[in-house]
Amino acid sequence: MAILKLQAPTKDYLWGGTRLVEEYGKKSAGEVTAESWELSCFPGSESIIENGEFVGRTLTEYIEEKGKSVLGTNCGKFQDFPVLIKFIDARKDLSLQVHPSDEYAREHENQFGKTEMWYIIDAEKDAFLYYGFNREVSKEEFAKRIEDQTLTEVLNAYPVQKGDVIFIESGTLHAIGAGILLAEIQQNSNVTYRVYDYGRRDKDGNLRELHVDKALDVTTLAPVKRPASPAPHIGVSKYFTVDKISLSGQITSKLTGSVDQTSFLHILILDGVGEIKNGCGGMHFKKGDSFFLPAGSGNYEICGTCEAILTYES
C-alpha cells in the first residue's frame, strides 16, 4: 500500500503566530496561524490526501472506502479514529484549561476525553508553561482564585526547552506559554474547558467563553506526579505510542522499519530533508511534512538528515 502524504487544515486562534506558514509551509489561516492538524479525522477538520488515487479526498474517506483494516488490529478497541496530531505555534499565552476524562466527556459532551503529550520543538529564552498546581488546593480555593484572577499564583510554572516532553493526563490544569513551538499528540477529541483567558477578546470583540463549573468537576487539585520515562519511547499511553528519530546524514543516515497488521504509522517531519519509500514507491520530504502509512504496508525506509516523530497504536 502506498504512503499517503497529508495536508493539514489550519486554525487562526488569537494566540497564534506566523512560524507555521513561514517556516513549515502550512496553509495560512489568516493573520495568525496557531495550529495545523497534521493527522486528523475530526469532523470538519480532516487531513487531506495529497498524492495517489485518493488525492484531494479526506483521510476519513480513505478509511471508509478501504476499511478499518488500514488502521490495524490494535485500533479495534477504539470506536473512532484514536489520535489527533498537531503543530502548535504559541506567539502568546494560551488560556488556562483542563480536559475531562472519557467517562465525563461521554456523559456531558458526547465526545471522548483528552489525554495528550507535547514535544517541544523550539522555545524562546525563559519560555514556560503551566503544568498543574504547585501545591494541593481545595475546590473552594480553586473556585475563589478563578473568581479573583489569582489562579496563576498556585500553578506550577514549568520552564521548557527544545526536546522536552510533557505528558498531560486528563484532569491536569495546563497552558502553553508564549514563545513555544511544539508538536501535540492527543486523543481524537476537541473538548477543552477554559478556566481563565486573561480577559482577552476574540476578533469580534467578545470575551471568550469560560467553562468554570465543568472545570471544577474534572480538575485534579494536587500537584502532578510526572510519569517515569517510557524509554525507548518518548510517549506511551493507552491511546498512542510515540517515538522520535534523528538522522544526522553522516553517522546515521537511514532508518528502516516495517508496518505490520497491528497498526498504522504516522510520521511527522520536525526538521530536515530526505526521502521516504516503501514497496509502492517513495517521495522526498521536508520540514513540516506529514505521512500516513497504512497497517500492513510492509517495509519502509527513511533516508536523509532529519528529526521526526513516529506515532502508532500498540
CATH number of the domain enclosing 174: 2.60.120.10
Domain extent for 52? 4-218
Please report, to the nearest 10 degrees, the dihedral formed by the alpha carbons of residues 214, 154, 221, 115 taken in order: 70
Q: Are residues 161 and 266 in the same domain?
A: no
Number of domains, the chain: 2
Enclosing H/E stretch for 130 = strand 128-133
Q: Which neighbouring-strand residues pair with 86?
A: 37, 184
Q: Is residue 227 situated within a structural domain?
A: no
Structure confidence by residue, pLDDT tens digits, 43-86: 999 999 999 999 999 999 999 999 999 999 999 999 899 999 99
**Residue 11 and residue 28: Cα distance in Å, rounded?**
9
Q: Are residues 140 and 21 in the same domain?
A: yes
Catalytic site residue from 194, 200, 201, 226: 194
Q: How far is CA 74 from CA 68, 79, 230, in A?
A: 11, 12, 19
Q: In the chain, which stretches have pLDDT less than 50?
A: none
Structure confidence by residue, pLDDT tens digits, 122-138: 999 999 999 999 999 99
With CA atoms as reference, report the closest residue to 311 among 246, 196, 234, 252: 234
Q: Which neighbouring-strand residues pair with 155?
A: 133
With CA atoms as reference, report the closest residue to 9 among 49, 54, 68: 49
The pLDDT, as a whole number, for residue 25 is: 97
The pLDDT, as a whole number, for residue 229 is: 86
Q: Which residues of 217-231 are buried (b: 16+ CB within 10 A; e: fewer)?
A: ebbbbebbeeeeebe
Q: Are residues 240 and 296 in the same domain?
A: yes
The pLDDT, as a whole number, for residue 299 is: 97
Answer with the one of 218, 243, 276 that is the final residue of a domain.
Answer: 218
Q: Is residue 228 situated within a structural domain?
A: no
Q: Are residues 87 and 14 in the same domain?
A: yes
Q: Are residues 147 and 259 in the same domain?
A: no
Q: Are residues 73 and 190 in the same domain?
A: yes
Answer with the one of 218, 252, 279 that is the final residue of a domain.
Answer: 218
Residues 6+ apart with CB under 8 A from 172: 98, 99, 131, 132, 219, 220, 224
Q: Is residue 223 situated within a structural domain?
A: no
**Residue 312 and residue 218: Cα distance in Å, rounded?**
28
Is residue 194 flagged as an active site residue?
yes
The pLDDT, as a whole number, for residue 200 is: 87
**191 DSSP assignment:** -
Q: Are residues 245 and 104 in the same domain?
A: no
Q: Is residue 229 situated within a structural domain?
A: no
The pLDDT, as a whole number, for residue 142 is: 97
Q: Are residues 179 and 239 in the same domain?
A: no
Q: Is residue 72 situated within a structural domain?
A: yes
The pLDDT, as a whole number, for residue 62 is: 98
